[in-house]
Each structure stands twice: as C-alpha cells, then as structure tokens.
Amino acid sequence: MDLWILGVFLSGLGMLLMGATVLWTALRMRAPGMTLLRMPVFTWSMVVTCLLVIASFPSLLAAMVLLGVGRADPSVVSGNTWTIGYQQLFWFYGHPVVYVMFFPFVGAVSEVLATFSGRRYVGYKPTVLSLLAFAALSMSVWGHHMFTTGEASNNYYSLTSITLSLPAGVEYFGFLATIVGGRLRYPTAMLFALAFIPQFLIGGLSGIMLGTSVVDYHVEDSFFVVAHFHYTLFAGSVFGFFAGLYFWFPKATGIMLNERLGKLHFWLMVIGTNVTFLPMFGLGFLGMPRRVATYPANPGFSTLNLISSCGAAVLSLALMVFLLNLMRSVRSRVPAPADPWDGQTLEWATTSPPPRFNFTAIPPISSYAPLLDLRRAATEDRT
C-alpha cells in the first residue's frame, strides 16, 4: 500500500512536470510566425489538457499525502476527513483527469477530419474558445460524483455538469461542419475519427443524464455509470487514439501501416465496442451494481452480461489484428513519404520520421493550416 501511494504520488508529480513543460513550450516557444491563433487544434487540445493537469493534479498529490500520513498515524485525520475530505480531494483531480484522457483525442480527431475532408477545420476560433470553456467547466463538476453523499452542493454541480453540453455542442458542430461539404477520403484513421463522433456522443449524452442529480440517485454505482464512462473513454478516447495513431504513425516511424488490416481492426473494434458496452446501460437501469465479481441470475442480468462478454471477445480479436498489423508493418517496412495524407499542419512538411530539430527552414505560417495554404497558392500559380 505504501508503495502504491508512493507510485501514485510520483506519477502525479511526473504528469504535473510534463504538463508544465508542454504548456510552456506551446505558450512561449512557438516557431516564428506561429501565433496563438495559428496553432493547430491538436496543439490547443494539448494546451487545455496541460492546464487541467496543472490545476487539478496537486489535489491528487495532497490526497496521497493525506493517505500516507493517515496510515502512519491514524489519529492525525478525523473520521470525516477520511470519508468525505479524501473523496473531495480525489474527485477534484478525478473528474478533470477524465478530460485529460480525452481532450488530446478530440484534437487528434479534429486534425484527421480536416485532413481527410480536404478542407480547413471549420469553426476554428469557436472551437478554441469552447475547448477553454469546456476545460474550465470540467474543473467545476467534481461534486457530481458525490451527489448521494449529501456532502456536495448538488444544484451547483448539476448546473455546471449540464452546462458542459454547450462547449461540447460547439465542438460537435465544428466536426460536422468540417465533414459536410468536404471531399471525404476513408483511410483507417478517418474511419476511427468518424466512429468517434456518434460513439463519444452517446458517452456525452449519458453524462448529461448522470449530471442530473435526480437520475444519478437512481443509477448511482450501477452499470449505467460503467457504460457511460466506457463510451467516453473507450468508444471515444480509444477510437480517437487509434485515429491519431494510424494518422501519425507513418510520420513518427517512417513506416506505413497496412490499410487492409487497419480496416479489419476498425470494424472489429466498432462491433466489439458497441456489443460490449451498450448492454451495460440496460444492466444499470435494471439495477446491476458495478464493481462486483458475480451477480444473481434471477433479475435477468444473464443475457445482457453474456452479450457483453461476447463483445469483449470481439474486442480482444480486434486488438490482436492491430498487433498483427503492427508486427507485419514493422517487418515489411513500406517506407512512408513525407506527406502521405496531404496533411495541413507543419509536421507534414518534413521527412518521415523527422530529423533532429525537424526543419532546415521553417515553412511560412499564415494560418492554422499552413500546408493547405501552400498547396492552394501553388495551384493558383499554376492556373
């Protein structure tokens, strides 16, 4: 247990230092010409992620110190501090960290959608503002994890939790406006990004339900909560992660991933994810509690749990296909060109993988899609 406390403390501290480093780099060490409003959406998503890390992770460190001190000398902390104080400290970190786990992937999906729609990301400035507002609101909703304790201001947390849907809506309009009217291509990265949109929406909408304290009293600590956060972090973040991975893997390694295996991986992931996690909403409403190793057969939980288990098997198969793809691609080593996707941001202007210090000369930066600008200027010159 002491080792666990030390480990959590050190990893929290490490994240805090990493957050400060990335934030400082983005805010103070940008390339010449790269103003704040020319940074890619992905960079903005990393900025807000680091802001959340800096503001919320100290609370985790405090919780771990409290836990360590309390274990060494139980007389130091009172009973109420253990039961409620620890929860407050934990959730003050614990809710923002969920956003830390998906904001980078929202940024990755934005880049992938814009690139494979062949157009500039639509609604850039509102999206940046909504990311900042989204992150600020996410700092103010931690108490919705404590609705049923009676020790949180339920009305406030309901208000802020439901208000989260406004900046989320702006981001969704950005996604949809980018793909509607675009000239779409469908490599694996784009498929994962497209699947992210409806699946993450299910996670978000069920979050609004949970943010309403009256609904939360019914489904608190049930499988409904499990379904909600898996739709957010698995159907959302993991799909965003794979969108980013298939998109940037050639740039980072200089090797192309196999598209046929990638698409098989994608379809198995979509089937597996929804077959696994959708029945959990039903299980939660039927009253199945979470964090249990077994359950009684009589309330009718068995069928839904069986469907869920089948989905988990499909997910395992999907991940094996991905590993196979990774191994085959590394072995066959199909070289990646500098810009295999007609990318829009600076990283695609250098070789794959980039040399140390990235560029011999930095391309001119006149917007948040500098390579798209260069391509359009070249086309206009030709005509």
Partner 1 sequence: VKAWLRRGAVVLLIWGLMNAVLAAVLVFFAGETKALELELYWASTGMLLILVAIVFVPGAEAHPRQTAATAGAPALAFAVACLFGGLAWVFGRYLAFLALPPLAFCVGRWRLERQQ
List residues near partner 1 by CB under 8 A: 2-3, 6-7, 10, 26-30, 35-36, 47-48, 51, 54-56, 58-59, 84-85, 88-89, 92, 132-133, 135-137, 139-140, 143, 151-156, 159-160, 356-357
243 vs 212: CA distance, rounded Å: 32
* 3-state percent breakdown (helix, strand, coil) of the chain, nearest 5: 75, 0, 25
Nearer to partner 1 by C-beta: 76 or 323?
76
To partner 1, the closest distance from the beta carbon of 288 in angstroms equals 31
Nearer to partner 1 by C-beta: 54 or 307?
54
Q: Which residue, among 337, 345, 321, has the nearest Cα to 244 in the 3D structure?
A: 345
Nearer to partner 1 by C-beta: 57 or 121?
57
To partner 1, the closest distance from the beta carbon of 213 in angstroms equals 12
Nearer to partner 1 by C-beta: 59 or 115?
59
Nearer to partner 1 by C-beta: 48 or 114?
48
Nearer to partner 1 by C-beta: 139 or 324?
139
To partner 1, the closest distance from the beta carbon of 162 in angstroms equals 14
Report cis status (omega within 30 of 0) of the bond before 353. Answer: yes
To partner 1, the closest distance from the beta carbon of 376 in angstroms equals 25
To partner 1, the closest distance from the beta carbon of 319 in angstroms equals 26
Q: Residue 269: how many CB atoms within 10 A of its CB?
A: 25
To partner 1, the closest distance from the beta carbon of 205 in angstroms equals 22
Amino acid identity at 291: R
Q: Which residue, among 38, 156, 49, has the nearest Cα to 102 in the 3D structure?
A: 49
253 vs 352: CA distance, rounded Å: 7
Query: In this structure, what token pair is assigned to residue 29?
Result: 């060490």
- Token pair 């390339």 is found at 31
**How many Cα neighbours within 13 Å face the side chain of 67?**
19
Q: Residue 18: how many CB atoms within 10 A of its CB?
A: 12
